[in-house]
Amino acid sequence: MTRSRSARRERIRVRVLPDHDSIAREVAGRIADLIRERAREGRNAVLGLATGSTPLGVYRELIRLHREEGLDFANVVAFNLDEYFPMRPGSIHSYHRYMRENLFDHIDIPLARRHIPRGDLAETEVESHCADFERLIREAGGIDLQILGIGRSGHIGFNEPGSMRDSRTRLLYLDSVTRSDAAADFFGEENVPPQAITMGVATILEAREVILLATGEHKAPIVRRSVEGEVHADVAATFLQQHPSATVYLDPAAAAELTRIRTPWLVDEVVWTMRMETDAVIWLSQRTGKPILHLATDDYREHHLASLVSRYGSAEPLNGRVFTSLMARIRGKSRLPRGHRILVFSPHPDDDVISMGGLLRKLVENGNRVAVAYQTSGNIAVFDHEVRRYLDFMRRAARILEPSGMGDLTDRIGAVERELTRKEPGEIDSPAVQDLKRAIRESEATAALETLGLPKARGRFLDLPFYRTGQVRKNPIGAADVEVVARLLEEVRPEMVFAAGDLSDPHGTHRMCLETVERALEGYSGPPPWVWLYRGAWQEWGVSEATVLVPLSDGELHGKVQAIFRHESQKDSAPFPGSDPREFWQRVVDRNRATADLLRTLGLPAYRAMEAYRVTRDGRPAKAGEIPGPVPGGGEEAAK
Residue 391 placed within a domain? no
* Residues forming the active site: 160
Percent of the chain with pLDDT over 90: 77
CA distance 135 to 517: 50
In terms of domains, do 607 and 568 share one? yes
Band the pLDDT of 581: cuts 50, 70, 90: confident
In terms of domains, do 76 and 171 share one? yes
Bridge partners, residue 530, by sequence? 496
Cα 317 from chain centroid (whole Å): 39
Of 327, 348, 367, the residue that ends a domain is 327
In terms of domains, do 152 and 283 share one? no
**Does residue 638 carry a pLDDT above 50?**
no
Q: Tell me: the pLDDT tens digits for 385-442?
A: 999 999 999 888 888 887 766 667 888 888 899 999 988 877 889 999 999 999 999 9
Closest CA to 382 of 454, 309, 341, 439: 439
**Does residue 503 carry a pLDDT above 70?**
no
Residue 422 placed within a domain? no
In terms of domains, do 611 and 507 share one? yes
Q: Tell me: the pLDDT tens digits for 344-399?
A: 999 999 999 999 999 999 999 999 999 999 999 999 989 899 999 999 998 888 88
Of 260, 294, 313, the residue that ends a domain is 260
Residue 356: give the domain boundaries: 333-381+429-616
**Domains in the chain: how many in total?**
3
DSSP letter assigned to residue 235: B
Residue 403 placed within a domain? no
Which residue pairs from 15-20 have beta carbons closer than 8 angstroms and sit at least 24 positions apart in sequence? 15/247, 15/248, 15/249, 15/250, 16/250, 16/251, 16/252, 16/255, 16/261, 17/249, 17/250, 17/251, 18/251, 18/252, 19/251, 20/57, 20/215, 20/251, 20/511
pTM: 0.85
Residue 24 placed within a domain? yes
In terms of domains, do 81 and 167 share one? yes
Compute how many other C-beta atoms are within 10 angstroms of the C-beta atom of residue 457. Answer: 9
Which residue pairs from 383-390 have beta carbons closer than 8 angstroms and sit at least 24 positions apart in sequence? 383/187, 383/569, 383/573, 383/575, 384/420, 384/423, 386/437, 386/440, 386/568, 386/569, 387/416, 387/420, 387/433, 387/436, 387/437, 387/440, 388/417, 388/420, 390/436, 390/440
In terms of domains, do 465 and 612 share one? yes
In terms of domains, do 133 and 244 share one? yes
Q: Tell me: the pLDDT tens digits for 211-246?
A: 999 998 889 999 999 999 999 999 999 999 999 999
CA distance 605 to 586: 24
Indicate the SS3 state at residue 373. Answer: strand
CA distance 565 to 125: 50
In terms of domains, do 478 and 441 share one? yes
Q: Are strands 170-173 and 195-198 parallel, antiparallel or unpaired?
A: antiparallel
In terms of domains, do 352 and 306 share one? no
In terms of domains, do 238 and 352 share one? no
Residue 390 placed within a domain? no
Residue 145 placed within a domain? yes
Q: Helices 431-451 and 409-422 meet at what angle, rounded to 10? A: 100
Of 233, 260, 287, the residue that ends a domain is 260
CATH number assigned to the domain comprising residue 551: 3.40.50.10320
In terms of domains, do 193 and 153 share one? yes
Helix (H) or strand (E) holding 14: strand 13-16
Name every residue whose Cβ is closer than 8 Å to that of residue 310 and which is 6 or more positions away in sequence. none
CATH number assigned to the domain comprising residue 111: 3.40.50.1360
In terms of domains, do 436 and 475 share one? yes
Q: Tell me: the pLDDT tens digits for 94-107?
A: 999 999 999 999 99
Residue 627 placed within a domain? no
Residue 450 placed within a domain? yes
